[in-house]
Amino acid sequence: MIRFACMFCLTLIGGSVAAEEPAPEVPTQDLIAERDRIAGEMHSLAKRSVWAGVERRYRQLVQMGIPLTAGDHLTAAYAARESGDLNQVFVRLQLAAAIEGTQEIVDWLYDIDHNYGHVTLLAGRKGTAKLIAVNLPLDPNQRKAVEAAIETARQTGRFEGLLPRGRYEFATQAFKVEPGVGVRVEVSPKMRRQGIIEPVIIYRPLPTATGNTEENP
């Protein structure tokens, strides 16, 4: 049986688990009916590849605060993949897997484990935060993830999340992304004055989607 590591999932969501939590309120029939209606719309939009609409419906469902199905989370993972948000892909797949670990979900999580690495990129100001992929991936979904990260870094001066394995530059500093290795690149005026310009690479195992702690080849 595959064990699913949830710590990373909770970190991405930004949540925490209390020692004791009150029992959740039983949703009313009206609330359940509304959830089913919105979920039906979401799945209908997914069949037509209207991913922005899927994302909006999913966020509505999450805000309702009542249980969703594995299929709901899986459909939302496809919407997140379309926008290049691999963090949310990972989170939603973990939520789906906790309900029903189908082969499709397990295979997708395995792919993330073995083809993506977690990076933290920080710059002193957004004007210096240009992220470059030395070679853009040929896979269209990986390419979307890289392009979304590039845009986030440009707009905010930072990026934290998943990137496909490969070589990159951030604020002219070269670094390499490998599955299972955390990479932190911080470039600030203070660091440059101190002569610190090399990326800080954290060689430590990261939580995996499938609970597989074996070293990647």
Q: Where does the pLDDT of residue 211 fall: very low under 50, low under 70, confident under 90, or very high at 90 and above? A: low
Residue 35: predicted pLDDT: 95
pLDDT band at 204 (very low <50, low <70, confident <90, very high): low
Q: What is the pTM of this model?
A: 0.75
Q: Is the pLDDT of residue 50 over 70?
A: yes
Residue 12, pLDDT above cutoff 60 = no
pLDDT of residue 127: 63
Put residue 195 in one of left, alpha, beta given phi > 0 → left and psi -120 to 50 → alpha.
left
For 171, phi and psi rounded to 5 degrees?
A: 50, 45
CATH, range 7-17+26-112: 1.25.40
Instruction: Report yes or no: 116 and 161 within 8 Å, Cβ to Cβ.
Output: no
**Residue 125 confidence (pLDDT) above 80:** no
Say whether pLDDT at 106 is over 80: yes
Phi, psi angle pair for 165, to nearest 5°: -55, 145
- Give the residue ranges of DSSP H helices in the chain: 7-13, 29-47, 51-64, 70-83, 86-99, 103-115, 140-156, 189-193
pLDDT score for 173:
84
Average pLDDT over residues 60-70: 95
Q: What is the domain partition of the chain in residue ranges?
A: 7-17+26-112, 116-202
End-to-end CA distance of the chain: 23
Q: What crossing angle do the helices spanning 103-115 and 86-99 adopt, rounded to 10°?
A: 140
